[in-house]
Structure 1
Amino acid sequence: MLFPTPELSELDHAVLDDLDRMRRDLRHQIRQAPTKWTEGLRKFLTADAVAASNSIEGFRVSTVDVVDLMEGERDVEVSEDNREETLAYQRMMTYIQTLHDAADFTFSKGLLNALHWILQGHHHTTAKPAGQWRRGPVYVTDPRDPSIAAYTAPDAEDVPGLMAELVDWLNLSEETHPLVKAAMAHLHLVSIHPWVDGNGRMSRSLQTLMIAREGVLAPEFSSIEAWLGRPGNTWEYYRELNARGSHYQPDQDVSSWIRFNLTAYHQQAQTVGNRLNRSSRVLAHLTDFTAAEGLDERLVSALHEVAMTGRVRRLRYEHAEGLSVQQAQRDLRDLTTSGILESVGRTRARYYVAGPAFPEAALTVATTPMSLTDPYRR
C-alpha cells in the first residue's frame, strides 16, 4: 500500500496557480536569454543540486568545487570520498537530465535500479549490493544517537511488491498536478527505502526526474535539491519525514508534506528567477566595462564567472569560449596584470578572483542578497 495523495486546500491550489505562472515566466526568461549564458547557469544549478543533495548525506563539497569537478579539473581540494560521491551523483543527474524529453519513456524497476547503480556502483559489495533491492532490514538512525532507529523501513520481503506498486503508480495517467505527484513519489520511495544505501538521494532524484518530464522547465531549473540542502530547510525536511512515524504507515494524511514541497518549489523558483535577473544585470555591467576599457568581449565570460561564483579557473574559461590553452592563459594573465583579477594558488590548482580594478557595480549586483517569500504567508 502507498500513501494516498491528499485532497488539496484552496490555499494549496492558489500556491500551485502561482507556481504555474512563475514557471511559465521562467521558461520565457530562459528562452530570451543568450544560450551561452543560460548554459553556464544550467551547469551552476546542476552543481548546486549535486552539492546540496550530497551535503544532506554528509558529503560536503561547495557548489563552485562541484562546478570545477564537472569541468574536469583534477586539482580540486576535496577528499577522495567526496570526489567519488560528487562525480557519481553528477553522472546520475546528467543521465536524468537526458531523460526529460526521451520518447517512449516509462518508469520501471530496471530503470530505478540502473540509476541506483550509477549512484552507488563504486560501493558495490555482496553485503551492500548496488542496483538491487536490499536483502535485509534497514534503519535510519537518529543523528544525535546512532543506537536509536528514527525510522525502520518495511521488511525486505515486502520491498519487491511495494516497488512494483510504485512503478505502476508512476506510470499511471491521472489528474494530479505533476508537482504534487512528484512530491508524493519522493515520499513513497524514501519511505520504502528499497536499497541498502543512497535512498535519500534516489528519492530526491526521482522527484527531479518527474518534474523534468512535465516539460515546463529543463531539469536544471526544476530541481528543489538545492533548496532542501540549505541547513534550515534540511532540518524541516527531516522533521516532515519524521512526522510520518517510526515505521512504514502509509494510511495517513500527508497534507503537511505537500505544503512543505509546494513551499520548496515556490522558493526555488524565486531563487532561480533572481539569479537569472542578477546574471543579466551583471552581464550588462561587464559588457559596458570591457567596451570602455577596450577589452575583447570574450573576457566578459571570465569576469561574469568571477562575479557570480567568486572565482574562475583557466579550464572553465577555456571551455566557455572555445579557446586554446595558450589563449586562455594569456587572457587571464593580462587581466591579472591589469589588476582586474588576482591569481590564487599555483600551477594546475590556480584560480582567479576579483582584483582591485574589478568593476564594483557588477560585484554589488552579484552579491546583494535576496529575500524569499513564504507562499503560505502572503
Structure 2
Amino acid sequence: MLFPTPQLMSDDDRVLAEIDAAREELRRTVRTAPPKLVDGLRRFLTADAVATSNSIEGFRVSTVDVADLADGEYDVDVSAENREETLAYQRMMTYIQSLHDAPDFEFGKGFLNALHWMLQGHRHSPRRPAGQWRRGPVHVTDARDPSIAAYTAPSADDVPGLMAELVDWLRDDDGAHPVVRAAMAHLHLVAIHPWADGNGRMSRSLQTLINARSGVLAPEFSSIEAWLGRPGNTWEYYRVLNARGATYQPDQDVHDWVRFNLVASHQQVQSVRRRMERSARTLELLETAAARDGWAERTVTALHDVALTGRIRRARYERAENLSRQQAQHDLRDLVDRDVLVPTGRTRARYYEPGPAFPEDALEAARTPFTLDDPYA
C-alpha cells in the first residue's frame, strides 16, 4: 500500500496556479535570454542542486567546486570521498536531465536500479549492494542522537512488492498536478527506502525527473533540490518526514507534506527568476565596462562567471568562448595586467578572482541578496 494523494484545499490550488504562471513566464524568459546568460545559469543551478542535495547526506562540497569537478577539473581541493560522491551524483543528474523530453521514456524497476547504480556503484559491496533492492533492515537515525532510530523502513521482504506497486503508480497518471505527483513520488520512495544507501538522493532525483517530465521547464530550472539543501529548509524537511511516524504507515493524511513541497516549488521558481534578473543586470554592467575600458568583448563571459561565482578557470573560459588555449591565456593575462583579475594557485590548479579594478557595480549587482515570499502567508 502507498500513501493516498491528499485532497487539496483552495489555497493549495491557488499556489499551484501561481507556480504554473511563474514557470511559464520563466520558460519564455529563458527562451529569449542571451545564451551565455542561460548557459551560465544552467551550470550554476545543476551544480547547486548536486552540492546541496549531497550536503543533506553529509558530503560537503561548495557549488563552485562542484561546477569545476563537473567541468573535468582535477585540481580541486576536496577529499577523495567527496569527489567520488559529487561526480557520481552529477553523472546521474546529467542523465536525468537528458530524459526530460525523451519520447519513449518509461518507468521501471530496472530503470530505478540503474539510476541507483550510477549513484552508488562506487560503493557496491555484498553487504550494501548498489543497483539492487536491499537484503536486510535499514534504519534512519536521529540527527541529534545516532543511537535512536527516527525511522525504520519496511521489511526487506516487502520491498519488491512495494516497488512494483510504486512503478505501477508512476506509469499510471492519476490526473494529479505534476508538482503534487512529484512530491508524492518522493515520499513513496523515501518511505519504502528500497536500497541500502542513497535513498534520500534517489527520492529527490525522482521528484526532479517527474517535475521535468511535465514539459514546462528543463530540470535545472524546476528542481527543488537546492531549496531543500538550505539549512533551515533541511530541518523542516526532516520534520515533515518525521511526522509520518517511526515506521511505514501509509494509511494517513500527508497534506502537510504536499503543502511543504508546494512552498518549496513556489520559492524555488522565485529564486531562479531572481537569479536570472540579477545575472542579466550583472551582464549588462560588465558589457558597459568592457566597452568603456577597452577589454575584448568575449572576456565578459569570464568576468560574468567571476562576478556570480567568485572565480573562473582558464579551461572553463576556453570552452565557453570556443577559444584556443593560447587565446584564453592571453585574454586572462591581459585582465590580470589591468588588475581586473588576480590569479590564485599554480598551473592546472590556477583560477582567477576579482581584482582591485573589477567593476564594483557589477560585483554589487551579483552579490545583492534577494527575498523570497511565502505563498501561504
TM-score by length of 2: 0.99
Q: Please name the residue that 1:89 is paired with.
A: 89
User: Aligned with 1:150: secondary structure?
Assistant: strand
Give the residue type in structure 1 aligned to 2:97. Q
* Per-residue deviation, 1:142: 1.0
Give the residue type in structure 2 aligned to 1:120. Q
* Per-residue deviation, 1:67: 0.4
CA distance, structure 2, for counterparts of residue 36 and residue 200 of structure 1: 33
Check if 1:7 corresponds to 2:7.
yes
* Per-residue deviation, 1:93: 0.2
Q: Please name the residue that 1:337 is paired with.
A: 337
* Per-residue deviation, 1:271: 0.5
CA distance, structure 1, for counterparts of residue 251 and residue 303 of structure 2: 54
* Per-residue deviation, 1:347: 1.6
* Per-residue deviation, 1:36: 2.6
CA distance, structure 2, for counterparts of residue 173 and residue 312 of structure 1: 44
Q: Please name the residue that 1:162 is paired with.
A: 162
* Per-residue deviation, 1:294: 1.6
User: Aligned with 1:100: secondary structure?
Assistant: coil
CA distance, structure 1, for counterparts of residue 349 and residue 240 of structure 2: 41
User: Aligned with 2:99: secondary structure?
Assistant: helix
Q: Please name the residue that 2:191 is paired with.
A: 191
CA distance, structure 2, for counterparts of residue 148 and residue 364 of structure 1: 46
RMSD between aligned residues: 0.7
Cα deviation code 1:240-267 (max 9, x no counterpart):
1100000000000001001100000011
Q: Does the 8 Å contact 2:101/2:213 carry over to 1?
A: yes
Give the residue type in structure 2 aligned to 1:339. D
Give the residue type in structure 2 aligned to 1:114. A
Check if 1:324 corresponds to 2:328.
no
Aligned residues: 377
What are the residue-to-residue correspondences of 1:1-378 with 2, within 5 Å? 1-377=1-377
* Per-residue deviation, 1:300: 0.2
CA distance, structure 2, for counterparts of residue 326 and residue 84 of structure 1: 31
CA distance, structure 1, for counterparts of residue 286 and residue 34 of structure 2: 15
Cα deviation code 1:164-193 (max 9, x no counterpart):
000000011222000000000000000000
* Per-residue deviation, 1:147: 1.5
Cα deviation code 1:101-142 (max 9, x no counterpart):
111211000000000000000001111100000011000011
User: Aligned with 1:374: secondary structure?
Assistant: coil
Gaps (5+ residues) in structure 1?
Answer: none
* Per-residue deviation, 1:344: 1.3
More moved, 45-54 vs 319-328: 319-328
CA distance, structure 2, for counterparts of residue 41 and residue 320 of structure 1: 13
* Per-residue deviation, 1:40: 1.6
Runs of 4+ in 1 over 3 A off after TM superposition: none
* Per-residue deviation, 1:37: 2.2
User: Aligned with 1:50: secondary structure?
Assistant: helix
* Per-residue deviation, 1:200: 0.1
Q: Does the 8 Å contact 2:36/2:301 carry over to 1?
A: no
Cα deviation code 1:305-347 (max 9, x no counterpart):
0111111111111111111111111111110110111111222
Give the residue type in structure 2 aligned to 1:4. P
CA distance, structure 1, for counterparts of residue 17 and residue 312 of structure 2: 39
Query: Identity over aligned residues, as a percent?
Result: 70
Give the residue type in structure 2 aligned to 1:323. L
CA distance, structure 1, for counterparts of residue 141 and residue 155 of structure 2: 16
CA distance, structure 2, for counterparts of residue 59 and residue 42 of structure 1: 22
